Chain A
């Protein structure tokens, strides 16, 4: 048998270990490090090192840098000693770096996941015990690794620009930060896109669209980075500059979290709880949003006219999130039901983090309600209302909430009804929600067209079906008091009635009892952790929020 006769043959791929001493130890160190690494990362690194495409891009990058350097130095000539040519060269280097970072790497990430589908290896990954998180981390990790290679190749050139004077370290650091974040974020989006499309049909189309989007992103990011570079040093060290960056960074980080969780969810089997992690990510983003808004309201009295922007942003955000959540499959799998919160408090607080369309509806509208309440509280507390009377601002916020409650609720009912006769996917449900809003917004237009023939006394009643139009009218103060009462009456009563119907659905969902784990699963848990202590029961009920983490540990 080969194993016994030649144990070294299979152990490691490089023949460098025969030297003994140092090499053996280095090798042991590398394989020890390699053990903990993500399997996909290991495989893709091995592939990339053999791949011509990677070598080609890498050599191209180096050649471009050399040409730039030599050309730049030749152009500037002897004056290099006193002209600050650094900024000019940095721009060229940055373009050279940004192209692979924002186009090649994200596209590779997208392709590496779609190629798994084409080569039929996606199934093989799926039947393995890799968790979806490991798959996403591995793909993302190899994007990061490629990025590091490109960065290290360009590092000497960038250091060279610093030596040439004309750029400061802060600029260089910021530019690199933009490039790195853009690269990782776009790669993540590429993975999400690849994960959404499990059929092979739309894949080429999607690839072309994505590549186009990447080139667009490349030019946008380049232009914006250059604009940031143009700022004079005074502006760049101002507090506003810092706060804007911090705000953008927190937006980036929380959005990244949502996309990451969504991608992993798309790679998971359908009986798993894919919704709770997403809902937690949404709540985190909302908390960050609230913190920024509160900070803005408290610190800058000039925020005035931006106040309603907060309301609109939150409303649109929760409409989109709610449209996705209300399209979730209605049937909770047995697996999810094993972990439903049991105690009364647990159910009241955490049922809404559990999967299910009606719970998603309640989740979205309570979150929006929460933002708007906090918003109302802080503007009352800080007495900032801008040009608008306080009452009007509060009224508009309430109308926005009522619209979201009504439309998401109607959408939920439509989806529930449609599911009785046909199968509706997540995307299908989302489209139902969007179409409903579009249809309702079209009603005033229709009435306007018809009203030439049909004499209608008051068009406002019809206009209330269109949330955008109504809220615009309210904001501009175009409605008189009676019309405002009319709007309030229609919108609030619609919201109340829809909410009542949907609460029944939600109550049914929250009323679902936990089911016992199958005997075989309990046996298996015991055999996996024979010495495990019994977990003390949580007085708050079992936190549904933990489901994701526990499930991951299980997997």
Chain B
């Protein structure tokens, strides 16, 4: 697969506008994606609870939450497949409720299922969706060429889609989603079930889509899967958006909990006893020659705090041979932000 069409310098690759079906007006003030107080009830289930956020041009926004958090529901509303109980969502400034037709020409939606036809090969499948989005003649040919190349499917053009591997099907779906050169792409759990290599390739493709100026909303229930590609993430739980920002912002906003491991000469028992008396130190545990504990503090003061703890230990006469910290992983951030409740 060749993921970089620019390497060849073909007309399509160097000028993304050549692949568009119509020249769009210059960017308006409206953000490509905006959810405004979006609510969706299913009977008594509040699947989406007052969600508000925007995604800018060329931005990749990660929508992270456990299963059943309401990601698919809000994405389906954004894709005009469902309707909000209250609130509204906007794509390029158009309401998904009142102007779904205008939204549809600007949005590419990739659901979390494939949606395939029988007796259709890769080329025919993409050709059908290109026609369905109103691409005609040379524009369609260009779009097909571009997309097949982008997704690396050109060698499989004549292959029936039933026989494709999971990774290839996923690429085909991505190709279908971008065939009409939408300015907004909504991808629901695209990385689910992919092998590591396919996942890396998917990440590269998403990054390149953002470089082409598309606003990408991408969901996952695993934060690490997306941390590298996302400019910002929103963490959703029980339909409520609990945190929005860059990964760093979110992890800094939560209270810092730093895991520390200490190795020392001699008995560990006294150190455990000493630590248990210190404020802001928790989860003290001891193994043969080392002690583990967690120190919590404000982010700005955490380094100072650690130094104080170390100084205190030495001052109390412990002969420390090793003092190491492990900063919080993204998973920790995620676990901390969400409560682990499901509905």
Is the pair A43, B115 in contact by a Cβ cutoff of 8 Å? no
The stretch from A115-123, A230-238, A491-499 touching chain B is A115-123
Quick check: A127 and B128 within 8 Å, CB to CB? Answer: no
Contact between chains at B93 and A1 (CB < 8 Å): no
CA of A52 to CA of B180, assembled, Å:
32
Nearest CB on B from A532, distance (A)? 15
Asked if B154 and A9 sit within 8 Å, CB to CB, the answer is: yes
Indicate whether A555 reaches chain B with its CB closer than 8 angstroms.
yes
| Among candidates B10, B100, B118, B134, residue contacting A269 with C-beta atoms closer than 8 Å | B100
Minimum CB–CB distance for B84 against chain A, Å: 12
Indicate whether A129 sits within 8 Å of B134 (C-beta atoms), given known contacts A2-B145, A11-B141, A47-B117.
yes
For residue B133, CB closer than 8 A to chain A, the reply is yes
CB < 8 Å: which of B105, B131, B146 contacts A3? B146
A382: Cβ under 8 A from any B Cβ:
no
Contact in complex: A271, B97 (CB < 8 Å): yes
The answer to whether A523 has its CB under 8 Å from any CB of chain B is: yes
- A458 within 8 Å of B by Cβ? no
Query: Is the contact region of chain A dominated by helix, strand, or loop, or is it mixed?
Result: helix
- Asked if B120 and A130 make an inter-chain contact with CB atoms under 8 angstroms apart, the answer reads no
A1 touches B7 (CB 8 A): yes
CB-CB < 8 A to A128: which residues of B? Answer: 104, 129, 132-133
Cβ A10 vs Cβ B141 within 8 A: yes
Classify chain B: how many residues form its interface, as a range.
Answer: 35 or more
Q: Would you give the shortest CB distance from B148 to chain A, in whole angstroms?
A: 6
Within 8 A of A (CB), among B166-180: 176, 180
Q: Inside 8 A of B101's CB, which chain A residues have their CB? A: 129, 269, 554-555
Query: B133 and A129: CB pair below 8 A?
Result: yes
Determine whether the beta carbon of B157 is less than 8 Å from that of A9. yes
CA distance A42 to B123 in the complex (A): 13
Q: Which residue on B lies nearest to A128, using beta carbons? A: B132
- In the bound complex, CA of A535 to CA of B319 (Å): 90
* Contact of A343 with B by CB under 8 A: no
Asked if A173 CB lies within 8 Å of chain B CBs, one says: no
The answer to whether B81 and A123 touch across the interface, beta carbons within 8 angstroms, is: yes
Nearest-neighbour CB distance to chain B for A180, whole angstroms, equals 27
Residues of A within 8 A of B149 (CB): 1-3
Would A520 and B10 count as touching, CB distance under 8 A?
A: no
Contact A524 B102 (CB under 8 A): yes
Contact of A334 among B8, B98, B111, B124 (CB under 8 A): B98
Q: Is A35 an interface residue (CB 8 A)?
A: yes
Contact A269 B2 (CB under 8 A): no
Q: Is B10 within 8 A of A523, CB to CB?
A: no
Asked if B137 lies at the interface with its beta carbon under 8 angstroms from chain A, I say: yes
Given contacts A1-B2, A269-B100, A521-B94, contact A119 B123 (CB under 8 A): no
A40 to B109, CA, bound (A): 19
Contacts of B144 in A (CB 8 A): 10
**With an 8 A cutoff between CB atoms, is A124 at the interface?**
yes
Do B120 and A43 touch (CB < 8 A)? yes
Scan residues 113-152 of chain A and give those whose CB is less than 8 A from a CB of chain B: 119-121, 123-130
> In this assembly, does B59 line the interface, its C-beta being within 8 Å of a C-beta of chain A?
no
Which chain B positions have C-beta within 8 A of A11?
A: 141
Q: How far is the CA of A335 from the CA of B101 in the complex (A)?
A: 11
Known: A128-B133, A129-B101. A47 touches B10 (CB 8 A): no
Q: Which of A1-38 contact B (CB under 8 A)?
A: 1-4, 7, 9-11, 13, 35
Q: Which residues of B contact A40 (CB under 8 A)?
A: 132
- In the bound assembly, the distance between CA atoms of A2 and B146 in angstroms comes to 9
Could you say which of A10, A35, A126, A130 contacts B81, with CB atoms under 8 Å apart?
A126
A-chain residues with CB within 8 Å of residue B180 when the two chains form the complex: 129
14 residue pairs of the A-B complex, CB under 8 angstroms, read A1-B10, A3-B145, A13-B123, A13-B124, A43-B120, A43-B128, A47-B118, A120-B111, A124-B115, A124-B176, A127-B81, A129-B132, A520-B93, A521-B99
Which B residues contact A (CB, under 8 angstroms)? 2, 5, 7-8, 10, 12-13, 24-25, 28, 30, 79-81, 83, 92-95, 97-102, 104-105, 107, 109, 111, 113-120, 123-124, 128-129, 131-134, 136-137, 141, 144-146, 148-149, 154, 157, 176, 180
- Using a CB–CB cutoff of 8 Å, the interface residues on chain A facing chain B are 1-4, 7, 9-11, 13, 35, 39-40, 42-43, 46-47, 50-51, 119-121, 123-130, 269-271, 333-335, 518, 520-521, 523-524, 527, 554-555
